[in-house]
Structure 1
């Protein structure tokens, strides 16, 4: 254990965080590899085309069969890995939800993802079936618009499907959070409390929505565990994302990324050797849906570490904003300690693992940044 870790965390806390990481890593990595393998096996062989033809030879029927088989088989394959991670996290006291509630959440996820996926597939194959060489341009535009619309609607329509939100009771903490947003010149409509405790003991807060729908959301677990000043520091970090327009930039980048991704996919899935391996003559045949998913999965896996690097940079900037807004590095450090311990996090995970999958700076890095702020302020 390095001196930086030992300065802020006890050996027992460090050992517990590392034990959780090691216990759930095989399931997490195994699930990723199994999901990718399924897509490659059925996307690069006639197996996927056969599944897409189960409902008949009609254009709409092939899209329906391909999309449903894709969602159902992938979900069934990944369920054991998700359950494995859940069992591990429950052993460390991070899970409060029963198995029935977990299954219900899975079903809710399917009710959201299946219509979205089928809508996207029908749109893509309708355009590809026109025979025009520029069909991919309209598909790219549609993907960009969909990314923007979903980003705007998610806080209002999707979040309430998985959590209940209640207004925070009037009092000193609510007043302090609203005053913090006002001092930061960020307009928020309200302060809400999410009933996260019915699923987990983990601590968190966030700011969601745009314009009139923007609100501060705090986990009830955070409010019952952390000191009020620490809650303010968490919210100050989230306000940093708003102040630097991270949500807006993320939406724009997501739209651009979706458009570029569609263009790349259109080029790759039209490559004759891949179409031959998938057992189809041309991409406009909806039986190529598994091939499309396989290529998209490979692209996502390649882009993943780059996305994590961008995310870590954004999170460091939000931390700096929180320190500048509050000028309270002592409570920032206390907050980082509390969240790391409560969430059973590893304060300093292996470097390679962090580079590949880490979306936030490590706890040790965030605490070190707060100490530097204290010296230079």
Structure 2
């Protein structure tokens, strides 16, 4: 623990303790609300009522029901998200005003509707054709949609929330491009994301596939970290590319989406659940809240497994950064800067790490970097 002062460690713990009840409370509240609507006739009544406002047809019930469920979820999360934001602002991590935050919330809601409405409409088109066998073609469509969104995310979704500008020519840009070239990775450009209008946190990532691949660095990182530390962050991100983590993650996500739809098919054919939800079968639009509840339960149950896989991937990317740069000292310096600037809890309770952490703790990453050179010999 000599890498961090007692004050730095205490500050990270204090932030975690201040925001965790609200962040976790938001998750629990959202899950309970979804279950309350999906496992009781309340959700069916809601779908019937809002569908009736638009003519009462099956299509109206499906589309209006989807929209109102998304809206309820968004409204429910607002107080929890706002409280987390207040806490993070108190610690200096938030720079965006409330108006900008509200605009981002509305953008997220609009994007969610843009994706969800045609997807759910297509789903119920399949259930209408085959109330008991719909899940088989739906699983295939879910896999294809996951792949499509993964490819389109850097091109269509990222620009909705951030502006990107090319990193000006200079030593750092040359160093980052040389780093990618030395790693055998083709990079189209080095971009700067205007993260400072929302946060003081530091980050960088590599996004896109093939000809669209680019290195993206937060402007906060470029203005705060030493150039060599920026290189180490990018080397870690190049590790994800080198090991095809995005591609493998996309394939696993597609398989997971297909399996989840198959599970939904089994659950939606269970008469006990249908009766509790007030629906006749999966083709009944009133089953929409039930499907949402089952999907939420599947997501909550698989969350810790996804986090465990993510941590293993991040450990491998750290190792790649060390092998590419052969600079464990600067890697450790970079981890210190990230942890201190982002006010991370550098040694969180193990249970919280297992359940929710997508990255190893800072102390674990630093310890691995110290062990790297002796292990390499």
TM normalised by structure 1 equals 0.98
Match of 1:49 in 2: 44
Question: 1:343: how far off?
Answer: 0.2
Query: What SS does the corresponding residue of 1:355 show, helix, strand or coil?
Result: helix
Match of 1:67 in 2: 66
Distance of 1:131 and 1:164 partners within structure 2: 44
| 1:246-265 aligned within 5 A | 246-265=245-264
- 3-state SS in 2 of match to 1:96: coil
CA contact (8 A) 2:236 2:318 kept: yes
CA distance in 1, matches of 2:200, 2:132: 52
Do 1:51 and 1:65's aligned partners in 2 also have CA atoms closer than 8 Å? no
Q: Which runs of 4+ in 1 moved over 4 A?
A: none
Report the alpha carbon displacement of residue 53 of structure 1 after superposing the two structures with TM: 1.1
- In the alignment, which of 10, 23, 33 is matched to residue 38 of structure 1? 33
Q: Show CA shifts across 1:45-90 (max 9, x none).
A: 1111111112223111111221011111111111000000000000
After superposition, the C-alpha distances for 1:162-208 in whole angstroms (9 at most, x for unaligned) are: 00000000000000000000000000000000000000000000000
1:281-302: CA deviations, max 9, x gaps?
Answer: 1111011111100000011000
3-state SS of 2:217 partner: strand
Distance in 2, matches of 1:134 and 1:71, equals: 26
Match of 2:200?
201
Tell me if structure 1 keeps the 8 A contact 2:134–2:265: no
Cross-structure match for 2:155:
156
Q: Distance in 2 between matches of 1:321 and 1:52?
A: 51
Report whether the alignment pairs 1:144 with 2:143. yes
Quote how far apart the aligned CAs of 1:133 are.
4.1
Q: How does 1:254-333 map to 2 (within 5 A)?
A: 254-333=253-332
Question: Is the aligned partner of 1:337 residue 2:339?
Answer: no
Count of aligned positions: 372
Cα distance in 1, alignment partners of residues 74 and 181 from structure 2: 44
The corresponding residue for 1:120 is 119
1:12 paired to 2:7: yes
Q: 1:22 aligns with which of 17, 20, 38?
A: 17
Provide, for residues 134-176 of structure 1, a one-character-per-residue CA deviation record: whole Å limited to 9, x for no partner: 3211101110110000000010011001000000000000000
What residue ranges of structure 2 are gaps of 5+ in the alignment? Answer: none
Query: Structure 1: how far apart are the matches of 2:243 and 2:142?
Result: 25
- Tell me, in whole angstroms, the C-alpha distance in 1 between the residues paired with 2:5 and 2:374: 25
Closer/same/farther in 2, CA of residues 132 and 63 from structure 1, 3 Å limit: closer
- Distance in 2 separating the partners of 1:111 and 1:32: 21
CA distance in structure 1 between the aligned counterparts of 2:131 and 2:86, rounded to whole angstroms: 51
Instruction: Decide whether the 8 Å contact of 1:96 with 1:200 is kept in 2.
Output: yes
Q: Find the counterpart in structure 2 of residue 376 from structure 1.
A: 375
2:201 matched to 1:190?
A: no
Structure-2 separation of matches of 1:48 and 1:8? 52
Unaligned runs of 5+ in 1: none
State the secondary structure of the residue aligned to 1:201: coil
Please say if residues 230 and 331 of structure 1, whose CA atoms lie closer than 8 Å, have aligned partners that are also in contact: yes
Contact 2:131 2:283 (8 Å CA) reproduced: no
**Deviation by residue 1:320-373 (Cα, 9 ceiling, x = unmatched):** 000000000000000000000000001100000100001001100000010011
Cα distance in 2, alignment partners of residues 320 and 92 from structure 1? 31
Q: Which segment is superposed worse, 96-105 or 119-128?
A: 119-128
- Shift, 1:115, TM fit: 1.8
In the alignment, the residues of structure 2 paired with residue 199 and residue 272 of structure 1 have an alpha-carbon distance, to the nearest angstrom, of 48
Query: Alpha-carbon deviations, 1:224-263, whole Å to 9, x = none?
Result: 0000000000000000000000000011011111111101
For 1:133 and 1:41, locate their aligned partners in 2 and report how far apart those are by CA, in whole Å: 24
Q: With structure 2 as the length reference, what TM-score do the two structures score?
A: 0.98
Change (3 A) 1:139 1:355: same
| In structure 1, distance between residues paired with 2:133 and 2:186 | 42
Aligned residue runs from structure 1 range 95-134, under 5 A? 95-131=94-130, 133-134=132-133
Matches of 2:131 and 2:167, distance apart in 1: 54
Matched position secondary structure for 1:8: coil
C-alpha displacement of 1:132 = 6.1
